A = this chain, B = another copy of it.
Amino acid sequence: MKLIGNAVVGQSGGPTAAINATLAGVIEGCAELCELGLIGKLYGMKNGIEGLLNEALCDLTPLFNSSDRELLKVTPAAALGSCRRRLKSHDVDGATYERLLEIFKKYDIRYFFYIGGNDSMDTVYKLSEYAKGQSYELRVIGVPKTIDNDLQATDHTPGFGSAAKYIATSVKEMRRDVSVYQVKAVTIVEIMGRDAGWLTAASALPNITGDGPDLIYLPERAFSFESFIEDVNEVLKTKPAVLVCVSEGIRFADGRYVAASGAAADGFGHVQLSGAGKVLEHLVKEKIGCKVRSVELNLPQRCASHIASLTDINEAVGVGKSAAHLAKDGKSGVMATILRKPGESYSAEFGYADISLIANEVKGVPVAYINERGNGITKEGIDYILPLIVGEVNIPYENGLPKHFKID
């Protein structure tokens, strides 16, 4: 059970506001294992598995005893760099696995931590399966990360709460903004989420105080131009400023993306895809004819650390730390998870799940969280998301801007 050696940690997939908090958590957990004499050094892979294959490693051991870890927790995006590379299966590309094993042996790496989303968990799965058959003991642990909140087996994913807080705050502020005029106007906010509508659902949170969107559409329900225009006209009967939030991934009953229907030739004669928001902007102009604007929240959704959720950041640290504890306890081929405890007030604990249950699966917004008409979020949905955005992080500022930590 007692395994002595070094550890390596990597970050993979799209960055978030909390992925560095999870890295800090893994570092904290490994510092504990170091105290116990289990871990010597903690290496960081530069740009995920790709960097590991090139032996692009940095030494994170100095962070075992450094207050820099606090700054790392509130720094957005992957401080170690990221990659989009997925391991092919061992049958197809055995050489890569052998190369990895060689590197593990060379650096005496016995603990492997990989922070990421669906694709990254596939890498964790394949590597842990391969490791099982080797005489070299390696413990392979996945740590969840994705703003999309679409991973199975965990109540929610680190990164989601902070993105949700940014979105809900921005939507509330835009509600104030669009409501100042008396002229009929429709504002359409496009929110990230190709397959799952979790982030768009978070736009409903300001509705608790009546400051949210009038209409919300998720990819989980078939979209129709006709119903949409009906819905907007219905709201226009009661107020001049209509605020709509849509997922980038909304699609028609036949499965085509709404975004794809906006294909248009650009100034260079090439066909370009508009976003879903742009398509609906043009539709409203065409069918209703009032003032209309579309807003794509875009990259800031996943990196706006300045308004990170304290709950999210704390849990992101916690789940990273718990990954180290799982490795200490002999686990491999698992992902650390966050479990919501039953009860009136929100609390969570950490658990784990077999990685094979998670890799490549997508968890959508449940039916009960979407209203009957498919244009809003139910109280049950709001109750699920709300606790995840609670609390503000104390961000250090310098020259009026948030300070960030950089790993060289």
Q: Which residues of A come within 8 Å of B, CB atoms?
A: 11, 15, 47, 50, 75-78, 81-84, 165, 168-170, 172-174, 176-183, 187, 205-206, 208-209, 211, 261-268, 270, 272, 274, 279, 282-283, 285-286, 293, 295-300, 302-307, 309, 386, 389-392, 397-402, 404
Contact = CB atoms under 8 A, between A and B. Distances in A.
B389 A78 contact: no
Q: Which applies to chain A's interface (DSSP): helix, strand, loop or mixed?
A: mixed
Given A75-B176, A77-B180, 4 more contacts: A172-B401, A209-B401, A264-B272, A389-B401
7 contacts: A47-B180, A77-B173, A169-B306, A209-B401, A264-B266, A295-B299, A307-B307
B400 A165 contact: yes
**What is the copy number of this chain in the assembly?**
2
A267 B296 contact: no
A83 B261 contact: no
A272 B286 CA distance: 12
B303 A174 contact: yes
A75 to B, nearest CB: 7
B298 A296 contact: yes
B81 A182 contact: yes
A226 to B, nearest CB: 15
A272 B297 CA distance: 20
Contacts of A400: 165, 168, 205, 309, 386, 389-391
A115 to B, nearest CB: 12
Nearest to A81: B180
Nearest to A402: B169
